[in-house]
Each structure stands twice: as C-alpha cells, then as structure tokens.
Structure 1
Amino acid sequence: MEEQDDQESMTVEDFGGGEAILEDSAGSETDDQPAHFIGLLKIGEETWEYDGVKRAFLAGMKGNAKDTQVVAIYKNSASTSPMKARFAAFKSFVKLVSQKNGGQGNVNVKYGWYSGSKEEISQIISHGFGRCNGQSHGVGVYLSPTSFLLDRLESSRADENDLRHILLCKVIMGKMEVIPAGSKQRYPSSGEYDSGVDNLEAPRRLVVWTAFMNSHILPVYIISFKAPSSTTLLINRMNEIRNLGFVTVSALHLTMVKFLGPAKGALISRTYDDFVKRKLTGVQLFHTVRQITGDDQLLIGIFKSCTNKRVGRALRKTCAAQAAAELRRR
C-alpha cells in the first residue's frame, strides 16, 4: 500500500511553461501493454495525464514537434517485485540524501530524459541500469533536463516498427558539483557531493555516478513515438545555422576556442584537427561540436559572433577602400 501511495504522489513538470504540475492518477491507466515493456501500464489517450506528458514531450522536441507523432505513453506501475524494490530504494535514498544534506529541501529531485534502443529500455525497466552512457563530463549515466530532450534523442534508435522510445525519470541530484569537460571522474570528489553537472546555473547534463545509477534514478514514463531520424535532426540544426550566413570552418574553430575557454577549447581543437586530417566528416564534426558546447543556442551564438566579425571586417575594408579612393580624387 505504501508503494501505491508513492506512485500516486509522483509529479511531472508541465514543459509548456509556468509551474503547473501534473499528478499521477491510478484511475488513468489501462491494461494494454506491449510484450517488450512488461510491468508497465499504458495511459489512456483521453486522460489529462496522457495529454500533459504528451505536451511536455512535444515541447521538448521544439521545432521538430510538427513532424513527431506520440504513439503511446506507458507508466512504471511497480507491478513486479523488482520494480517495487527499486521504488522502495529510491524512497530510501531520498530520505538518506535529505538527512545528509540537512533537510528535505536539499534532496534536489529533478526530472531527466534517457534514451536508448527498445531493447535497452526494456532491460532498464526489468533489471535496472547496466551501463554508463556518457563521458564528456565524467564517466556515468547521463540524463538531460526536461527542456533539453533533443540532446538525448540523438542516441535513440528506431525499432522494427520505426518507433523510438525515451524514458522520463526522476533523478536524485542532491548537492551537485561541476564536472569539467574532458574529466574522467567516476565518483563524487568528496562526501559533500551527490552528483555532477556541466554547469550549476543552467545544467544541460545530469551526471549520476555508476554506484548510484539504480538508487538515484527512477524511470517513471516511457514515451513511444515516431520522429525524424537523428541524422535529419542534425541536418535541421546545421541548416538553421547555415541560414545565419557563411563562415569558414577554420574561422569558426578559432572563435569557439576563444569563446569556450581552455578545457572545452582543447576538445574543440582536437576535433578540428581530426576534421583537417579527414578523420571526421563535416556532419561528424558538427555533431561532436554540439556535444562539447552542450547548447544549441550557445553554438548559434558563437556562429553569429564569428559571422558578425567576418561581416565587420568586410565592412571596415569597404569603408577604408572608399576613403582611400576619395583621397586619391582630391
């Protein structure tokens, strides 16, 4: 009965803006479930719960929402003994982190996206997390905050029915520490910290250490959907940046190194060297750069800065030429 109470109190953020909260309702479930997602309950399309999660997901898809179809949403109902045990473990660690950090307000439970193949997500639901999926800012399990769904989508894989699947999880972050780009850290740097992020003010990567991956992460929903391929999504981003104006790769590289600082700048330089040596294609270069910068808008901002400098130089040259011509006429 205690587990059921916990399930009914779960909430998921309304990504559409504001602080509206959607709460689970035990009455919103149906018994329809796919064979590969045993133990999950399909949410009825006519319910407000389905509508809220769908709106949240599509908001995260941003400009790709119009080409995305939500096919089904499933909820972790803790219907099996292992699932109940993971619910209980999560609840226990919420209390433990709260006590360690001095109060309930310091548990810092967030929501995060985790994507993978149908087979991997099925295994996670049945047996828990079994691997690290990131190492750009330490080695651990990476999830993306609610508004950065597209970061996770690049690692999703379509199944035999051309469906992709993504997990929405509750994550105990506790006290977070910044993990610099390129770090090989695998554990908290001290007992003071519980998790890692790439940026404290606006984290894009939620890093849960391997030792905590099955106690600090609780899968809540699976969204099954059809969407443009990862390559198409990447090309869409490239086209958006190209529309800002032409700039050479070398000029962009130099601007990014200066803009991002030493650690990320070094990663960018190594990536650019691989591109020059033809070890990477242009698409692979862009994909890697996006992973390093961690923010689409940041990358676009850098591109604009680089483009504006190029335009500014051209304008100054034009003005200088006009001034010189005027002097010769005199």
Structure 2
Amino acid sequence: MNQIAAENQTSITIDDAMSESNELDSCYNCFQHFVTNGFSKIDESSFEGDIIKTSFFSSLSRNPQISYRTKIVAIHKNSNTSQCWKIRAHGFGVYTKAVADTRGGDANIKYAWYGASKNEICETVMHGFSWRRHSISVSPAKHGLDSVLCSGVDGSGVRHLLLCRVILGKQEVVREDSRDQFHPSSMDFDSAVDDISSPTRYIIWNTHLNCNILPCYILSFEAPLYLSGEQLNLNCHVRLLIC
C-alpha cells in the first residue's frame, strides 16, 4: 500500500511538473510570437515600464479586489523596423497631421487599452486590426478595467492587453446599445465615445481602424479567476453591441 501511495504521489508530482512545463512553453511561445513580430521585452523597473505598470494598476482602481490580485508577467514594446510597420507608423503620422489640420491643430491623440484573446492580439500585431467589424472599442488609459474584462485567458493562464496610441479627433456620443451606426454621423466627427465629459470607451470606426490606432506595447498579466464567466461575458457583450 505504501508503495502504491508513493507511486501515486510521484505520478501527481510528475503530472504537476509537466502541466507547469506546458504552461511555461505556452507562455514562451506567445512571447516568442511577439518578439518575432517586432516587439521587444522591457524591464518593469525601467522608466517606461514603471509608467505603464503604474498606469495599468491605476486604471483598475475601480475594483481593488481585481487590482490587488493582478500580477504583471511581461511588457513588450513595439520596436518593429520592418517595412510594413514603417508604413503603418508613417500612415499614423500622416493621418495625425491631417486630423490636426482639420480640427484646429489638435488631433486629440490619447493612449488606450485594447483587450482580446491571445490569438486576436497576435493577429493584430502581425496584420493589424480586423476589418470584419464596423468598429472597435478601446478603453482610456485610466479606465482599463473594461479591456481587462474583455481579455482572454491563454493556455498558460495569462491575459494580454495592447496599449495603443489612438487618434480621436473630434468625438461624438454613441449609446452603448446602438447597433445602427457604422461610421461617423457626419464629416464633423472622427470617432465616438460613451460620454463626452468622462469617457470610459473610445469607439474607432472600421474606416479608420489601422490609420487611427498604433499598437505601442503589449502588457501580459495574470488576473483573478472570477474575471471569467458572467462578469466577463456581460462586459464583452456591452462592447460587442457597439462593435
């Protein structure tokens, strides 16, 4: 009996070790994909790493329980030098100037979070944002909780957010339950928000997706399990109503 118990314990230990190894491999493979596509890992304690970390946890302040139990795993910076990315960055600069010229000299550029599954993050890094939806919703830098709730857990238990620079230009209000607007209501507007005075969502229309949004960093983190389930689905459902 003692031998059987010992063998069972050994089996459990091996299974646990293999499971942990598989999770590490999954996490490594994901990070390797980021690196392959021009993102380099930066130290959390570096100047920019500390700013991003502080901004991230500050954006979770509406829910201290989530903030307290959330751990940053890695931060990757967009350092892509490929011709494709140079074109995208140049296009962002050109559009920034065009919007600024149209809107009295201010293109209204902000940083914003975008949460999605690992696969979508990887696809976005490689090919840009998908054109299959008529808009996407991103969270202002100080309101990252919605994007956290819409992030997907990968095979290693890690979630990922994009931190992007976003050209907002002149904004109009769009209701959360609106499904019948697919573009700016007129040439007077460039993007939309849920609230002009205190926005928690920036809405970028399909026609502007890869001109108005430039991914700058990928933040990978572990968060409480109760982000899954109804709370997650509810928040993502709200976002999809306007996307």
Q: TM-score range by the shorter chain?
A: 0.7 to 0.9
Equivalent runs, 1:41-80 vs 2, <5 Å: 41-62=40-61, 63=64, 64-80=66-82
Partner of 1:201: 197
The CA RMSD measured in Å over matched residues stands at: 2.5
Equivalent runs, 1:80-159 vs 2, <5 Å: 80-103=82-105, 106-131=106-131, 139-159=134-154
Distance change in 2, residues 1:70/1:289 (3 Å) = closer
Residue 144 of structure 1 aligns to a residue whose secondary structure is strand
Taking the aligned partners of 2:33 and 2:80, their CA distance within structure 1 comes to: 16
Q: Is the 8 A contact 2:149 2:235 kept in 1?
A: no
Taking the aligned partners of 1:76 and 1:127, their CA distance within structure 2 comes to: 14
Q: Is the 8 A contact 1:83 1:126 kept in 2?
A: no
Taking the aligned partners of 2:31 and 2:223, their CA distance within structure 1 comes to: 20
- Per-residue deviation at 1:193? 0.7
- Per-residue deviation at 1:132? 6.0
Residue 96 of structure 2 aligns to a residue whose secondary structure is helix
Sequence identity percentage: 38
- Per-residue deviation at 1:288? 6.3
Residue 52 of structure 1 aligns to a residue whose secondary structure is helix
Letter in 1 for 2:86: K
Distance change in 2, residues 1:288/1:125 (3 Å) = closer
Taking the aligned partners of 2:142 and 2:151, their CA distance within structure 1 comes to: 17
- Per-residue deviation at 1:70? 0.6
Residue 211 of structure 2 aligns to a residue whose secondary structure is coil
Letter in 2 for 1:47: S
Taking the aligned partners of 1:141 and 1:158, their CA distance within structure 2 comes to: 20
Taking the aligned partners of 1:61 and 1:180, their CA distance within structure 2 comes to: 23
- Per-residue deviation at 1:45? 3.4
- Per-residue deviation at 1:83? 1.3
- Per-residue deviation at 1:203? 1.1
Residue 147 of structure 1 aligns to a residue whose secondary structure is coil
Taking the aligned partners of 2:48 and 2:78, their CA distance within structure 1 comes to: 13
Partner of 2:174: 179
Taking the aligned partners of 1:289 and 1:162, their CA distance within structure 2 comes to: 19
Letter in 2 for 1:125: V
Q: Is the 8 A contact 2:137 2:202 kept in 1?
A: yes
Q: Is the 8 A contact 2:92 2:211 kept in 1?
A: yes
1:219 lines up with 2:215 in the alignment: yes
Equivalent runs, 1:242-253 vs 2, <5 Å: none
Distance change in 2, residues 1:161/1:154 (3 Å) = same
Taking the aligned partners of 2:53 and 2:235, their CA distance within structure 1 comes to: 29
Partner of 1:35: 32
Taking the aligned partners of 2:236 and 2:92, their CA distance within structure 1 comes to: 35
Per residue, is there more helix in 1 or in 2? 1
Residue 146 of structure 2 aligns to a residue whose secondary structure is helix
Which TM-score applies when normalising by structure 1? 0.57
Partner of 2:26: none
4+ aligned runs moved over 4 Å, structure 1: none
Residue 189 of structure 2 aligns to a residue whose secondary structure is coil
Q: Is the 8 A contact 2:56 2:142 kept in 1?
A: no
Taking the aligned partners of 1:206 and 1:55, their CA distance within structure 2 comes to: 21
- Per-residue deviation at 1:234? 7.5
Q: Is the 8 A contact 1:40 1:79 kept in 2?
A: no
Q: Is the 8 A contact 1:82 1:126 kept in 2?
A: no
Letter in 1 for 2:33: H
Number of residue-to-residue matches in the alignment: 204
Distance change in 2, residues 1:288/1:219 (3 Å) = closer
Deviations 1:64-115 (A, max 9, x none): 2221111110111132221111111100000000111121xx2111111101
Q: Is the 8 A contact 2:177 2:238 kept in 1?
A: no
Q: Is the 8 A contact 2:89 2:214 kept in 1?
A: yes
Q: Is the 8 A contact 2:113 2:163 kept in 1?
A: yes
> Which fold has the larger relative contact order, with Cα–Cα distance below 8 Å and residues 6 or more apart in sequence?
2
